[in-house]
Structure 1
């Protein structure tokens, strides 16, 4: 399966990513994780949004090259956000984030996604 075929699939119960030709399920968020994710996004956006420097998005699918990832937090430089003509943020982000943040619980296996 290639990236185009993967993107045509309907989202399943759990979010999946497409990396190096493999479909990789992401773990389901829990309370502590969700709270930390929200706090981190808010902290980044409190500092960067009003000056139009950057913006942090939680659980945003980013598809580029041969990958489709859903980082816990994807941060984009403001100038790279593909705003629609009406000034709104689009639903699809066909580009890589400038910065990603992954939140791991103690029982999660860590390893490179590259």
Structure 2
């Protein structure tokens, strides 16, 4: 049996490939397709975007985007929720929002799916921190914990009634328990 040589792909070549559903990411020279979101994941993602945007959009502090491809630092990642400070949101010359975000998010939120590897998702958040992201969250619905990645790459676990760190200037207070209580309908 002959094994063909597989030429490594570049970020530029990856960005020319057709989009996949669910989205594929490119980091450290590897293409990885995200798992299809399931019930808990979808509910948490929607609730996070809604709660963040409810306090940030009217006053133009920031904006939370679900499943937004962000290309920066030699990678193309698609955090479950990407939050950008208002003044950093890429815009076209007309003032309309740009389609391509070629900058790091200010706050990246990932929600662990049952088939995802913890290490790979945490590596994405650490890459974000290396490139300037101020805050990263990794929600684990299974054990109802949230790992927070700070800009200095420090990682801390939050559970129960621990108050979660939020981006400066965002008037939002949340605990891990409040977030995971959203799963009870």
Please say whether Structure 1 and Structure 2 have the same fold, judged by a TM-score greater than 0.5.
Answer: yes
* Contact 2:25–2:31 (8 Å) recurs in 1: yes
Which residue of 2 is the match for residue 47 of structure 1? 55
List 4+ stretches of structure 1 deviating above 6 A.
Answer: none
In structure 1, distance between residues paired with 2:86 and 2:68: 15
1:59 matched to 2:67? The reply is yes
Task: Give 3-state SS (helix, strand or coil) of 2:118's partner.
Answer: coil
Task: Give 3-state SS (helix, strand or coil) of 1:50's partner.
Answer: coil
Aligned residue pairs, count: 114
In structure 2, distance between residues paired with 1:59 and 1:14: 9
Q: Which stretches in structure 2 are left out of the alignment for 5+ residues? A: 1-8, 128-185
Task: Give 3-state SS (helix, strand or coil) of 2:18's partner.
Answer: coil
**C-alpha RMSD of the superposition:** 1.4
Deviates more, 1:73-82 or 1:10-19: 10-19
Q: CA deviation at 1:106?
A: 4.7
How does the TM-score come out when normalised to structure 2? 0.58
Deviates more, 1:38-47 or 1:11-20: 11-20
1:69 is aligned, of 58, 77, 91, to 77
Which residue of 1 is the match for residue 46 of structure 2? 38
In structure 1, distance between residues paired with 2:30 and 2:58: 38
In structure 2, distance between residues paired with 1:93 and 1:62: 5
Larger Rg: 2
Which residue of 2 is the match for residue 16 of structure 1? 24
Q: Which stretches in structure 1 are left out of the alignment for 5+ residues? A: none
Q: Comparing both chains, which one has the higher relative contact order based on Cα–Cα distances under 8 Å and sequence gaps of 6 or more?
A: 1
In structure 2, distance between residues paired with 1:68 and 1:102: 15
How does the TM-score come out when normalised to structure 1? 0.92
Deviates more, 1:97-106 or 1:57-66: 97-106
